[in-house]
Amino acid sequence: MQIYGQTIASRLMLGTARYPSPDILKRAIEASGAEIVTVSLRREAAGERAGRKFWDIVRETGVKVLPNTAGCHSVREAVTTAQMAREVFGTNWIKLEVIGDADTLQPDLFGLVEATRILSDDGFAVLAYTTEDLVAADRLVEAGCRVLMPWGSPIGSARGLNNVYGLRAMRARYPDLTLIVDAGLGVPSHAAQALELGYDGVLLSSAVALAGDPVAMASAFKLAVAAGRLAFEADPLLPRDMAEPSTPVLGQATLGGAALQ
């Protein structure tokens, strides 16, 4: 997976919030094989002690931190948070979120495009949390975004891919752009489906953190992502409206009239 010129071996990215304990977070990261984890500036700055523990985990696992602007509801708030995150985490990568609806947590696409343009001009490498809307995607690309992260379904809903047609259309529109399904995935089969559509990766958070066994679920998602990508590269059979025999009929034995008497 290519992200702003860097090759990332794992196609699974992991959120770091809401885990039962720091030890389980560490073990889940290791089980997932993820090379990138996302973290909110608010979470990191919540307390000095918690911040030190998080950085201990990062150092021990060797993962790359992708700060995000989670919870930002305006362009100004998102831009300011991104600029602060660059100072705190020492990276120009930012997962950009500008939330427009408090119930669905759907992105504010107008604000997202504006914030992307501002941050791109300021030297940021923007990974934009968006929808499958192609017009918004065009505007984001024009604004300098090179990684689009469309939602599968609302954050934390565990409903999987609500609009497979829209996601497939986005993949077809941008064959050379890095596309990562973000939000709404609940079980490993959802992740496999995203990879089967040709998406470069997935970002998970609640699906692992809130599972009964986060470490086991992280392992399951790792396997699902690998299977989904392998299936995509194998050129899967497309759906048909009618049946087609799986066993050839050429050379099939036939019964003559005499045999029927």
Options 26, 53, 64, 95, the catalytic residue: 95
Determine the Cα–Cα distance for residues 261 and 255; give it in Å rounded to an integer: 11
Query: Residue for token digits 């989670």?
Result: 70
Q: Any catalytic annotation for residue 95?
A: yes
Determine the Cα–Cα distance for residues 28 and 18; give it in Å rounded to an integer: 12
Query: Residue for token digits 């305006």?
Result: 74
DSSP letters along 22-67, please?
Answer: HHHHHHHHHHHT-SEEEEEHHHHTS-HHHHHHHHHHHHHHTPEEEE
183 marked ligand binding residue: yes
Among 7, 25, 119, CA closest to 68: 119
Annotated binding site for 1-deoxy-D-xylulose 5-phosphate: which residue ranges? 156, 183-184, 205-206
- Feature table: binding site: 156, 183-184, 205-206
- Catalytic residue positions? 95
